[in-house]
């Protein structure tokens, strides 16, 4: 059978550097850091006292006040991003069959704050099991997909995807396949995360995964820098409206780019550490190129997973060199996590948005906070340090990897 083409017709973002797609993009181009000291809870006794929080966001601006209390923050973020994307795509019942619109929403953790509050209240009580009746619905990761469909009436394929930090990229690839096969005309795909909590920071601290650069939060996320010491936890959401090409053309939709293909692999190596030779990561980029029917020379920019960890960054760059060979020196490579921090299950979605906008505007967002070269990286590679760079682009690739060895890559290209 002939697979249908899939395009991007709407975007929505709520991030640590901007509460809309335009604010987010402006922050990326300006090299803005979203890191600062934590306000969500008292982090004085924690090894890491900072994070990339969403700022100046009132969930009541998009959700009824009574409903706000019945939702965890990860769902607040999801609805805000989806509302922007739906408005951007100009979706209405008059022109779209809502029975053919799906929702694939991702979260690596889901309602961790809700879980913390309910268990804490129980432990501090007299042992009587008094739990909020919304405890379970607020906590479970799939509730975002369900509530988005209820809010808009979207009746197509609807479920959640959980694969740690690869979650929302897996959502995009799964949505791509659903539309290709004709199971839906349109899918709302993306992810949200609200893990800047005591368990979130404390848990990652215990793993020694987070930066502890408390004297300079804004410069703590420094991918590829010699003195990188871990990632910075972020929060927020990204939503992407994917649509069958002919369907989009027929209704006169604005088309940002084509989602040309995606790859999915496993390291099959370790619970949290990447494969030392980058085998799974190498394979996933090959799979994405194969799925997109593209050659390595077709790619202009790679938005890397690039978390700012001592081990992960070199192995990803090694994999890029293994895949692209000499063409690696023609690529722009950058990590937008240097600005947003790591949004865990939402990372793939907001980084896909960054990749789509880079393609549209011909601007590569920078890897900020580079101070000292690391000899582990070939100096001839263009890691787009500190300042955005302009270049003509036809295709971009975005990587995300998750604990458990989950790897996912997507390729967006200009419509041709």
Catalytic positions:
165, 305, 342
Q: Which of 2, 372, 58, 354 is nearest to 180 (CA)?
A: 2
- Round to whole Å and give the CA distance between 369 and 385: 8
- Round to whole Å and give the CA distance between 394 and 332: 12
Q: How many CB atoms lie within 10 A of CB 322?
A: 17
Structure tokens at 367: 């890897």
- Phi and psi at 209, nearest 5°, equal -95, -25
- Under DSSP, is residue 271 helix (H, G, I), strand (E, B) or coil? coil
Residue with the two structure tokens 């901007």: 18
Angle at 401 between CA 282 and CA 157, to 5 degrees: 110
Structure tokens at 324: 């692209």
- Round to whole Å and give the CA distance between 351 and 304: 9
Q: Please list the alpha-helical segments (H only) found in 211-278.
A: 245-250
One-character DSSP codes across 143-161: HHHHHHHHHHT--S-EEEE
Q: For 205-220, b where at least 16 C-beta lie within 10 A, e where not — what string?
A: beeebbbebeeebbbb
Element (H, E) at 21: helix 21-30
Contact 103, 81 (CB under 8 A): no
């Amino acid at each position: 059978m002939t697979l249908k083409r899939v395009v991007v017709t709407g975007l929505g973002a709520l991030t640590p550097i901007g509460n809309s797609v335009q604010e987010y993009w402006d922050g990326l181009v300006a090299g803005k850091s979203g890191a600062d000291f934590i306000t969500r809870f008292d982090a004085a006794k924690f090894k890491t006292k900072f994070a990339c929080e969403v700022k100046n966001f009132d969930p009541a601006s998009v959700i009824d006040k009574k409903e706000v209390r019945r939702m965890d923050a990860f769902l607040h973020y999801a609805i805000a991003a989806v509302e922007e994307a739906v408005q951007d795509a100009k979706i209405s019942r008059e022109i779209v069959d809502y029975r053919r619109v799906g929702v694939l929403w991702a979260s690596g953790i889901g309602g961790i704050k809700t879980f913390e509050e309910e268990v804490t209240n129980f432990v501090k009580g007299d042992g009587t099991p008094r739990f909020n009746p919304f405890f379970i619905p607020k906590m479970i990761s799939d509730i975002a997909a369900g509530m988005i469909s209820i809010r808009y009436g979207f009746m197509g394929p609807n479920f959640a995807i959980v694969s740690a930090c690869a979650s929302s990229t897996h959502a995009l690839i799964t949505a791509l396949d659903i539309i290709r096969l004709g199971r839906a005309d349109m899918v709302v795909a993306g992810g949200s995360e609200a893990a800047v909590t005591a368990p979130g920071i404390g848990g990652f601290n215990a793993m020694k995964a987070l930066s502890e650069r408390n004297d300079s939060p804004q410069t703590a996320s420094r991918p590829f820098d010699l003195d990188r010491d871990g990632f910075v936890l972020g929060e927020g959401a990204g939503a992407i409206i994917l649509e069958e090409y002919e369907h989009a053309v027929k209704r006169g939709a604005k088309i940002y780019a084509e989602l040309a293909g995606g790859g999915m692999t496993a390291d099959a190596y370790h619970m949290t550490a990447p494969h030392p030779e980058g085998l799974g990561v190498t394979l996933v980029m090959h799979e994405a190129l194969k799925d997109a029917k593209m050659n390595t020379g077709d790619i202009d920019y790679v938005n890397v997973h690039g978390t700012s960890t001592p081990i992960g960054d070199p192995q990803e760059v090694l994999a890029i060199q293994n895949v692209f060979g000499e063409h690696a020196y023609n690529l722009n490579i950058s990590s937008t996590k240097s600005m947003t921090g790591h949004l865990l299950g939402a990372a793939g979605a907001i980084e896909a948005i960054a990749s789509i906008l880079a393609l549209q505007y011909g601007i590569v967002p920078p890897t900020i906070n580079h101070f000292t070269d690391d000899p582990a990286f070939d100096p001839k590679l263009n890691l787009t340090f500190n300042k955005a760079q302009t270049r003509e682009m036809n295709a971009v690739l975005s990587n995300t990897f998750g604990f458990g060895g989950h790897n996912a890559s997507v390729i967006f290209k200009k419509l041709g």
